[in-house]
Chains A and B, each alone.
Chain A
Amino acid sequence: MKTTKEDFSFFEKTNPNLDKYVDRSFEISDRINQILKDKNITQKVLSEKLNKKESEISKWLTGVHNFTIKTISKLEVALGESIIIPVNGTEFNSIQNPEKISIDEDYIKIHSVTSYNKITIRDVKDNWEPKFIKQKLMKSAQGYSKRYPKTKWAAEPNTGYKLTVNERVSLNEKDLEISFDK
């Protein structure tokens, strides 16, 4: 197809506050949808739990609803899961403490699961290349995918998800953030 030569520079100017607001709204609705899917909860059941109309719940799940903290808290109680995860928080998907995942004689310690498709691992040994961790995590994920349903695609490399490992250095230790993106 030809490319239009018209001026769309309107799109070049960014509005960080608005962009973040819409981004978070989309993420929150995705997170709620994912929990409903994982727990086999229908919109109807959720609407009954919250004493709301199903049409209102449907609106919440579409992406750009301006949730109040109060509504999010009610949703979290009804779903039994956290929706908003504090940065560097550890509360997610019932992970209360760092977990050890066996990798040969060494282990990977999960520091936190910061969103539905990201985990951070800590205390990375110097000889652990990201590629190595990726391979091992893909393999070991098979064993714990039931406990951590959000990571199930790591055990199923043919689902179209790709696993990327991003290194980041924190104050005292090296972390690796592992993302699962389609």
Chain B
Amino acid sequence: MYFEIQEIEQIRGTKVRFYTIIKDGHEKTEFKDFLDRMTFLGNSNPRIMEDLEELKSQIKLIGNKFGADPRRFKNESGAFALAKYYPKRKNKDGIFGLRVYCLIVSDAIVIILNGDDKTALKNRDCPKIRMKFHEAVRLSQIISDYIKDGTLRKDGVFLTNPDNEQLFI
């Protein structure tokens, strides 16, 4: 399966540009899919909507003020994720909050992938998040390899595919 990387212009920050990916045959980009699913759930679950609002706030501040410092992300051994914490509430009753996976390409480039609502301490114990996590790890590795071999290039806030090569998962 091949995929394409696209910039999300509507959340472009002064310090960071955010990108996402769209897989061949899919109607939505990964981040849009996450956002739509969580918005739908959030309409009947205030906690999910609050998490989504906090994620939005963190993404905007990373983009416009603080840059993509890995300290702002949760490091999950192979993939980074937002939000790092939801300080307004404790992780209780099996609620760990929304988790969206990201690849920090540089302090000015972030690729936002997909995620879900995490309901168990360990990713492997959460059926919703397990698949998303494994895919994020795999995609992070694949995209990092494309950058290393020069297929993808990073220059400041720009991530480019200069020869328009097809990217495969």
Contacts and interface: CB of A to CB of B under 8 A. Distances in A.
Interface of A: 1-4, 6-12, 15, 18-19, 21-23, 25-26, 29-30, 59, 61-66
Given A1-B159, A2-B7, A61 B29 contact: no
A59 B38 CA distance: 26
A49 B84 CA distance: 26
Contacts of B147: none
Interface stretch (B49-57, B121-129, B137-145): B49-57
A10 B66 contact: no
Interface residues of B, number: 39
12 contacts: A1-B7, A1-B159, A3-B6, A3-B9, A8-B11, A10-B35, A15-B53, A19-B61, A29-B71, A62-B84, A64-B85, A66-B88
Contact of A63 (B7, B84, B161): B84
The 4 A-B residue pairs with the shortest CB-CB distance, nearest first, are A66-B87, A8-B10, A4-B6, A6-B32
Interface string B1-36: 000111111110000000110100000110010010
Nearest to A65: B87
B3 to A, nearest CB: 12
A8 B112 CA distance: 13
Given A64-B83, A65-B85, A1 B11 contact: no
A8 B8 contact: yes
A60 to B, nearest CB: 10
A64 B71 CA distance: 10
Nearest to B10: A8
Contact of A59 (B32, B35, B85): B85
Given A2-B6, A19-B57, A64 B65 contact: no
